[in-house]
Amino acid sequence: MESPVQVHLRLPAVAAGAVEELLWSLDAGAVSLSEIGEEMELTAILPAAVAAGLEAQVAAFLDASGIDVSFTLTREPYAERDWQAAFRQEFLPVVVGERLVVAPTWWEAPLPSVPICLRIDPQMAFGTGHHATTHACLAWLVERAAEGGAHPGGLIDAGCGSGVLAIAAHHLGFTPVVAIDNDPIACTTARCNAAANGAATIQVIDGDLATTPLGAAPTVVANLTAATILALLPTLLAMVAPGGRLILAGILTEREAEVAAALTAVGQQIVTRYEADGWIAVVSEGGPTR
> 144-200 pLDDT, tens per residue?
888 766 678 999 999 998 899 999 999 999 999 999 998 888 899 999 999 999 999
Could you state, in order of their start, the residue ranges of all structural domains in the chain?
A: 5-86, 91-286
Domain 91-286 classified CATH 3.40.50.150? yes
**Spatial CB neighbours of 264, under 8 Å, sequence gap ≥ 6:** none
pLDDT for residue 289 = 42
pLDDT score for 128: 77
pLDDT for res 268 = 95
Average pLDDT score, the chain:
87
At residue 109, the pLDDT reads 78
- Please report the pLDDT score of residue 150 as a whole number: 64
Q: Which residues of the chain have pLDDT under 70?
A: 1-2, 80-90, 124-125, 148-150, 287-290
**By CB neighbour count within 10 A (0-12 exposed, 13-18 middle, 19+ buried), where does 134 fall?**
buried
Strands laid side by side in the 155-158 sheet: 203-206, 177-181, 155-158, 217-223, 240-252, 279-286, 268-276
Output the pLDDT for position 288. Answer: 43
For the full predicted model, state whether its pTM sits above 0.75. yes
Q: At what angle do helices 132-148 and 164-171 cross, to 10 degrees?
A: 20
SS (H, E, C) 223-259: ECCHHHHHHHHHHHHHCEEEEEEEEEEEEEHHHHHHH
- Are 143 and 124 spatial neighbours (Cβ–Cβ below 8 Å)? no
The third-level CATH classification (topology) of the domain covering 5-86 is: Alpha-Beta Plaits (3.30.70)
Choose among 225, 35, 33: nearest CA to 130: 33
